[in-house]
Each structure stands twice: as C-alpha cells, then as structure tokens.
Structure 1
Amino acid sequence: MAATAVPTEQPTERPTQQATTQTVAQPTTQRRRVAIIGAGPSGLFAAQALMSQDRVPVHVELFDRLPTPYGLLRYGVAPDHENIKAVGDALARTFDSGEVTFWGLIEFGRDVTRDEVLAGYDAVIYAVGADEDVRLGIPGERMIGSRSAREFVSWYGGHPDARRQDLTGVTGAAAIGVGNVAVDVARILLKDPAALERTDMPPRVLVELHSADVRDVWVVGRRGPEHASYTTKELRELVSLPGVQVSIDDYTLSTMTGDPDPKLPRRVRTNLEVLASAAAREVPDADRRLHFEFWSRPIRLHSDDPEPDEVGDDVDHERIPEKVSAMELERTRLDADGRVVGTGETAMVAVQLVLRAIGYRATPLPDVPFDTTAAVVPNVEGRVVDEQGVVQPREYCTGWVKRGPLGVIGSNKADAAQTVAHVLADLEAAPMATAATGAPVRLDVVQLLRERGRAPSTYEDWQAIDSAEIERGQDLGRVRTKLGSWQELLAQVAGSRLAGAAGGAVGEVAAERAPEPS
C-alpha cells in the first residue's frame, strides 16, 4: 500500500537496504525524527535532553529489547535502594510531552538493521550500555559456583533473562572487586532476608534467600582500600548490617594505623575511617562475618572433585560439572611501575560461590563501528566515527557504550547532554527538505516491523506491566512486586493488546528469549 512521504534531507553517506522502499512514514509534524537504541538511563537522559530544548522540534522514538523501559535503573539497582530507583519517576516524565514514543521487544540487529534505522530517522543515538562482564582468566573459572556478579544482580533484580542462582550448600561466598557492585552483592548475601520482604524483589528470589545459609562473605581487592571505588554510602550500609562481624586482613590492618594520609582525597580518607571503625567494633552474637581481603587476587578456584585446567574464555552459562569448594588467593603488591604483581604468598579460602565484579564491557552492535580494545563505539564527544576516525553522519552514542562502564546512573545525564548538543547542532546544519525538493522519504520502521510480524510493545503495554506489579505488591504490603519472567511480562503485554485491540502476536518472543530452565 502506498503511503505519503515524510520529507527529509538527501542521505548521501551510505546506500540503504532494499527494505527501505517497502513502507514509509505518514506525515505528522515538521519535527525531526530521532531514534534512540536502548531505553535505559542513558537513552532516557538523551530523550529528556532533546525534549527540554526548543532549538529544533524533535520527535523521539526509543527502542529496547525488553518490554520495560529504564534498563539498569530497573534491573541493576539493588531492591533495597528505593531512593535511587526514584530517579525513574523523573525519567518517566520524559514521556509526558507526547513526542517521546517507546517501542519494546525490538532487538537492534535482529529485528531491525542499522541501515533501516538510518533510513527512518534524522539521527540515531546508540545507548545500549555494557552487557558483558570482565572475566578473571584463572583455572577453574567455569566451575559450578563461579558466576559473574552481573548474573547475580540480574537474578535478584528480576531481569527476565536471569537464571536461578542456586544457593543450596553455600556457606561461604566471595565478591571479587571493590566497587559498588561487589558491595551490593555482599550486602544482599549477608542481609537478613526479612529486611528485603517489602522491596520489589521477586518472591522466588526471596524464597531462595530465606533458605540460604551464607555465613561468611569475602570482598577481595587486588589493591589497597585507598584504591577502592565503592562510595562511602554503600560501604557504610554494608559494614553496618545487624549481626555481621567485620574483619580486615592482617596485612592491610597493619597499614591502617593512625589517621589517614591528609593528602588522600576526602572520600578515600572517610572510607578508611569507616573501615577501621567497623573492624574495631565487636558485634555481640554475630552469626555472619564479612571479610575484607585487600592486596589479594584469586589465582585458582578449587573443587573437591578432580580439578579442571580450563581457564574459561567461553560462554557464561557453559559450565563444567565440578563445584567450587575453595578459592586460592595470592598476596599482591605494586611494582616500580605501579603495576599489581603477585608476591607468591598464597592462602586458601573455603567458598562455594565466587562472584566476579571487576568490570563490564560493551559488546559490538551489528554493523556499527566498534573499538574492540576499549569496548566502546568509537566517537568524538558522542559523534560516532569509523576506524579511520571519520565521522559517521547522523549516528551518535551515549552512556557506557560511549565512555566505558564508568560512573553512577546520574553520570549519564551530563554525558547525554554532550551528545545531544552535537545532535542538535547537526540537525540545525541540515534543514529539513520539503516534498517539493524530491528528497527521499523516511522509512516507517515500526510499520516495517509489524509487516514482518515483529509487532513492538508500547508504553501503554509497559503501563499495564507497571499496574500489575503495583497490584501484586499491594497484596503483599509492598510498593510493588516485580514480574521477573518473560512469560509474566508478555502475558501483560498480550492482555494490554487485547484490551487496546492493537493486535500482534507475542508468544514467539517468549519462546525465543526465555532462558533455559536451570
């Protein structure tokens, strides 16, 4: 069926695929069309920045693989950190203008290509975050019980991709890393599950935590406490857990005598004081223990079964049958060049769960330039460039895929503002053509997806999910109870479509994307 063209400037930078001639967008306004790939905090901050300006009228469309917006804010923030989750209320107001549209259940590169998106929009912003964790690269890493902290956080955060984290038989656990993620997983493991009952944590996660018997948790850092990246707030919360005795390894404790060096940054001095105070405090009737092991690194995971020799550079969920029973640590120091090296002094720690939290990496987007060394989309202040440094017209990036996995959620706001400033400058420099110029039309990407049988979910579908979660929460005396599986989420999407007569099958999505039972 023919459709009326949306006028736009001539795209000269690359040819588009044949599919671009199949369907075109109906004209609505003279607003420039901006697509944002990823509806997490970085994508929403970019949309917010676009809506808060009046230089260039824009219409924004956010695409996400999930039927829920908010990304890391929804699934990466610990359930007991409700104050951080409140940032979502401010981001939700981005949709109030009527010029921001959410399209869920659409995976870039699988459901829609780079060329098709560029054919449909005046600008494209990649805001997909970093979805792969950095590995330890040590023998035994693929054993059962060795996991990424990302997997563990996804599980207790109710991500639909998450597999069950079986804590049966786990009395000792280790978080490798000294950032906020390591502190979060240590806190969830040591915290009384009763204190989590009123959070939005999925009920099945609470059942697992209630049945667990974790008594000892080690937080392991290869450098000293002065190099730790956790915030003071997170550290205080962890070391103040009721019924938990805190200890610091003897070597580090011996270096913490007296007041912290006044030349150190204030945050570091405060953290050292918090640590020293916690280690000196005796907790009567403590039944759990938190061990800080600084200047240490894991060099091998051991099992009571025959030990494997594999280092483990393959897929996260591919396991070998041996179970972790111990972790071998090596004392570290800094060499003359400031690099961390081992001293040869080792110690064994009895653990059945090891969670690596030593960093994240972005993964390549299909056909989009990617720097495999830095694990980012190469860019100059948010303008995407190719491997020769040539700017790619109308392509931008923001968030972790732009700068690497640095900073907290709020860091994405300034980052998005920088990118959006360039988007607006480039849009102003390329005025919208009129139909009289004979310029090519923009592809109606959403209609194209529907014709392919990939009907996207909408913001109204998300509101149906949101309402269902709030209703479930009220039944349990909570603010909400998160729907934590693809089946539950898509049931709400299907119900919303039935109510709105929007049509479009969603059942195949559950079959394709739901994780294997574990």
Structure 2
Amino acid sequence: MNARPLNVAVIGAGPAGIYASDILSKSGMEVCIDLFERLPAPYGLVRYGVAPDHPRIKQIIVALYKILQRGDIRLIGNVEVGRDITVAELRERYDAIILSTGADTDAPLDIPGIDAPEVYGGADFVSWYDAHPDHPRTWPLNASEVAVIGVGNVGLDIARVLAKNVQDLLVTEIPGNVAQALAASPVTDVHIFGRRGPAQVKFTPLELRELGKQPGVNVTVDEEDFEYDEGSQAALASSNQQRQVVKTLEGYAMQDPEDLTGARTIHIHLFQSPVEVLTDEGGHVSALRTERTRLNGDGTVTGTGETRDWPVQAVYRAVGYAGSPIEGLPFDHERHVLPNEGGRVLDQDGQPLTGVYATGWIRRGPVGLIGSTKSDAQETISNLVADAQAGLLGSGRQDGAQAGHDAVMALLTDREVPFTTWEGWELLDAYERELGEAYGEVEGGRGGRERVKVVARDAMTAISRSSDVPVDLIGEPDADRVPQRVAHRLED
C-alpha cells in the first residue's frame, strides 16, 4: 500500500461515476478522488437522458446529491477529457483513472433510406428536449405522422413527448424553447415499431401504463400482435415485470374504439421489422416499410416476406445507445465499449492497462439500470483496490506539486479552462429552482415549477462561477462542441 493517499480521477459524473467514487471512498483505503464532468452540471443521463415528465428520476438525483454533498469527492465540471486535458496528462498526475463516460450516441440501424434528412437519432431528440447545452436549440417538428423504431423506454419517452399536450409539460423543468416548438407541432399519429412480440418488448410496466394516462392521447395495439411461442411463455413465467407489460398491452388492445376520442394517437405495432425508409422524389421521408415477422419457437423471429408501407414524414431511431471512443484509449468499435476484464481496461494485446479502469455503460454497453450500475462499480473498485494492495498503482508517481488535485487545478488554470465545482453546481441548482418559481407564474398561472433548466453552457458556467450572467439563458451552442452528427441543424 502507498504511504500517501491514492490519487484517483473518475471521468464522468453520471450515476456510474458517482457510485464508483462513493464505493471507492468507503473502501478503507486513504484516497483522494476528483470527479471530472464535461458539462457544468453533474448527473449525466439522469439530467440529460430522461424525459422531463418522469418525476421518479428525482429520487435518483436525491441519492446522487447526498453522495456529492459530503465533500469528500471533489467535482470538477466543465472539463472535457480529450479537449481540455488529455488521458495521458491525467495518467501522469493520478495513480488511477476510472472511465465512466457512459453511452451518449444512437446505436446504428443499417437499412436503406436511413440517411434521409427526416430520420433522427432518438438520443439527439432526447438531448434537445432535455436542454443539453451542446445540441442545437431547434428541432424540425413538421411531421403529422411519425415512426419510432424501438420498443424500449427511450422509444416510449419519444412517443409520449411528441404526442403529449404541451400544457401538461409546463409543470416540468422543460425550457421555453422546447415548449414553444412542441406546442406548434402538427403531429397526430405516432407509430412505435418492434420486430418481436409482446413477451420480448423492453418497456417497463410503469412507463407503459403512464402512456395511456395522457389527456387527449389514445394508445392502441392490434389484437393480431399477441402471439406466444414456447420461448415467449418461458420469458413470461420467469418475469413478473414482463407479465405486467403484456397485461397492459392487452388492455390497450381491448379498448372500445368509441372510447378513443383523443386528438393524437400512439400506435404500438409488434412483429414488424423495419426494412426500408421510403422517400419521395425530393429525397424526403414518405413512409416506413416493415416486414411482418413470426416467432421461431424460442422467442426469436423470422421475416415472413409480407411487407407493409406506413405513411410517415419522420422516423426516430430508438434501438439503443452506444458509447463513444475516448482519445488515447483502446476502443471496441463493434460493442462500442472500452475493452476490459472486470473493469480493468485492456490494451490492444489484451493486457490490462496499469491504473486504467471502466465502469457503467462504457464498460458493459447500454444495458441495465441503477442496480447493474452499482454492481459494475463494485467489481471495478474491488479490482482497483486489489491492484493498489498489490503495489501496482502509484509506484511511478511523484509526490507534491506534480501529482493529483493541485497539479491538475494548476494546469487547468494555466490553460484558462473555466472549470466549475460542487459549490458552483449548488449555485446553478438554486438559480434553476428560482427560475422555476418565476416561470410558473408567467405560464398560465399554474404556480411555481420545481426548476427550469438553464440551457446555454456559458450561462451555466457563469452562474456556477459567480460571474456576470448572460441575458439569454438559452442562446446557441458553441459550434465546435456540437456533435458532428447533428451539426447540420445549426444551418437549418
């Protein structure tokens, strides 16, 4: 074991990074932890990946807040690894680094027509309505009929936000630019497509039930979409959650058509595999072509050759998230993760990179929720502690000014990086809560909201650093920070 505290940098202040930091802080080792976040606000996809009308997410934020509020984990926000400081520079100054950068892009869907201009990544749409500072402030909501590909909770979120009456969102933290755009949307029908059957969909019961509780919105499922093979029956027998999902879907299918009086409808289509996005002569989306599938007996499906064209003017891909490469580290481009064994990141030869670890979705891929994230973090930290006890960490590091927190703060200050801190986040948190109270009075006399997000990165940073706050709290994103896949929207 080291005579001095172990200096550890954790990259990514979402649940994975915060839980890993918490577990490490309670490991019994003497350790100094710096938690880096590329945005001026913590919490990752809990803040920027969940629809604003999901109040239960607040419970997760409360738990994460209590961990960081203790003060033994130092938050360093608005610092992008690879841009403001490199992995190599971190490795020079810390005994270990833990990557918890998550998955922030859409998994690919390789079908003809997928590059049409009205085909959108679900992750990008979520980033827009969740006020991510590095995404364009506008969204092209011009379609009356929309397709959402994917039967997970992200697909449900997208469909619900598209179909929901915007007045019912004004009690949430949704910013004004998003509310204004959604209010003008002409959408009437949102079609959700899944290639398998009801026993295989990835919805969670509560989210699926909430779909049918929106005023003025119908939810329909075709009675023909309820087929079960031996694999399906086994899945239902082993999962109470899946049984609840099927029961809810069956309830939607058995509704009396006369009761479906909403102005907008969400249609859930099962056993429909997308095979092509069709476009008109101008190259714009005109329909989604799907192929009917059938069960094989083990819960998998095979195409029947029977196709159908669904008239839509926009398509949203919600088939999963994918991690992004981290400059200076190996990357598995097929699985979109850091190659690792038990959280130890592996080099190109399959050998552990000394002092480099991964946890969360960048380690295992975008599967599992908080429970999986905690167990991931536990295994990663256990291996880090074992390596430290074996004397593998910190043997080449210097004490004093060249190592750890003080050295990195000096480097960021020299580079004039406007980093933020936990105290800065508390200032921004309080500011957003004050905005919520004020906006509630302005928007229909509904009373105060819990918060309204500040959108612009420079405004978030200024508030966090007690600088002069820009008048425009929404603004436009820094062009050089906008993901390349959505940069064209700045020109629209």
The bucket for the TM-score relative to the shorter chain is 0.7 to 0.9
TM-score (norm 1): 0.82
Q: Work out the CA distance in 2 between the residues paired with 1:178 and 1:438.
A: 52
Q: Which structure 2 residues correspond to residues 169-180 of structure 1 after superposition, within 5 A?
A: 169-180=142-153
Deviations for 1:465-494, whole angstroms, at most 9, x for unmatched residues? 212211110102100001122243234245
How big is the alpha-carbon RMSD for the aligned residues of Structure 1 and Structure 2? 2.9
Q: 1:372 aligns with which of 312, 329, 333?
A: 333
Quick check: 1:466 aligned with 2:429?
A: yes
**Alpha-carbon contact 1:32-1:58 (below 8 Å) kept:** yes
**Alpha-carbon deviation of 1:440?**
10
**Alpha-carbon deviation of 1:274?**
1.0
Tell me which residue corresponds to 2:472.
Answer: none
Q: 1:107 to 1:249 in 2, by over 3 A?
A: same
**Alpha-carbon deviation of 1:463?**
2.2
Q: Work out the CA distance in 1 between the residues paired with 2:120 and 2:210.
A: 24
Q: Work out the CA distance in 1 between the residues paired with 2:479 and 2:265.
A: 42
**Alpha-carbon deviation of 1:427?**
2.1
Bigger Rg, structure 1 or 2: 1
The one-letter code matched in structure 1 to 2:415 is R
Q: Work out the CA distance in 1 between the residues paired with 2:75 and 2:191.
A: 41
**Alpha-carbon contact 1:129-1:400 (below 8 Å) kept:** yes
Tell me which residue corresponds to 1:80.
Answer: 53
Tell me which residue corresponds to 2:454.
Answer: 483
The one-letter code matched in structure 2 to 1:488 is A
Tell me which residue corresponds to 1:183.
Answer: 156
Aligned partner of residue 186 in structure 2, secondary structure? coil
Moved more, 444-453 or 238-247: 238-247
Aligned partner of residue 290 in structure 1, secondary structure? strand
Tell me which residue corresponds to 2:13.
Answer: 39
Q: 1:431 to 1:271 in 2, by over 3 A?
A: closer
**Alpha-carbon deviation of 1:31?**
2.5
**Alpha-carbon contact 1:74-1:85 (below 8 Å) kept:** no
Tell me which residue corresponds to 2:481.
Answer: 513
Aligned partner of residue 389 in structure 1, secondary structure? coil
Quick check: 1:411 aligned with 2:372?
A: yes
**Alpha-carbon deviation of 1:359?**
1.3
Tell me which residue corresponds to 2:119.
Answer: 146
The one-letter code matched in structure 1 to 2:171 is R
Q: Which runs of 5+ in 2 are unaligned?
A: 441-447, 470-474
Q: 1:410 to 1:264 in 2, by over 3 A?
A: closer
Q: Work out the CA distance in 2 between the residues paired with 1:431 and 1:145.
A: 51
Q: 1:301 aligns with which of 272, 277, 291?
A: 277
Q: 1:389 to 1:170 in 2, by over 3 A?
A: same
The one-letter code matched in structure 1 to 2:320 is G
Q: Which structure 2 residues correspond to residues 396-407 of structure 1 after superposition, within 5 A?
A: 396-407=357-368
Quick check: 1:332 aligned with 2:303?
A: no
**Alpha-carbon deviation of 1:396?**
0.8
The one-letter code matched in structure 2 to 1:43 is G
Aligned partner of residue 226 in structure 1, secondary structure? coil
**Alpha-carbon deviation of 1:357?**
0.7
Quick check: 1:50 aligned with 2:21?
A: no
Aligned partner of residue 394 in structure 1, secondary structure? strand
Tell me which residue corresponds to 1:288.
Answer: 264
Tell me which residue corresponds to 2:391.
Answer: 430
Q: 1:264 to 1:34 in 2, by over 3 A?
A: closer
Tell me which residue corresponds to 2:307.
Answer: 346
Q: 1:34 to 1:384 in 2, by over 3 A?
A: same
Q: Which runs of 5+ in 1 are unaligned?
A: 1-7, 10-28, 307-321, 500-506
Moved more, 135-144 or 290-299: 135-144
**Alpha-carbon deviation of 1:340?**
4.2
Deviations for 1:141-174, whole angstroms, at most 9, x for unmatched residues? 2222210110111111111122245354321112
Identity of aligned residues (%): 38
What is the total number of aligned residue pairs between the two structures? 464
Tell me which residue corresponds to 2:191.
Answer: 218
Tell me which residue corresponds to 1:315.
Answer: none
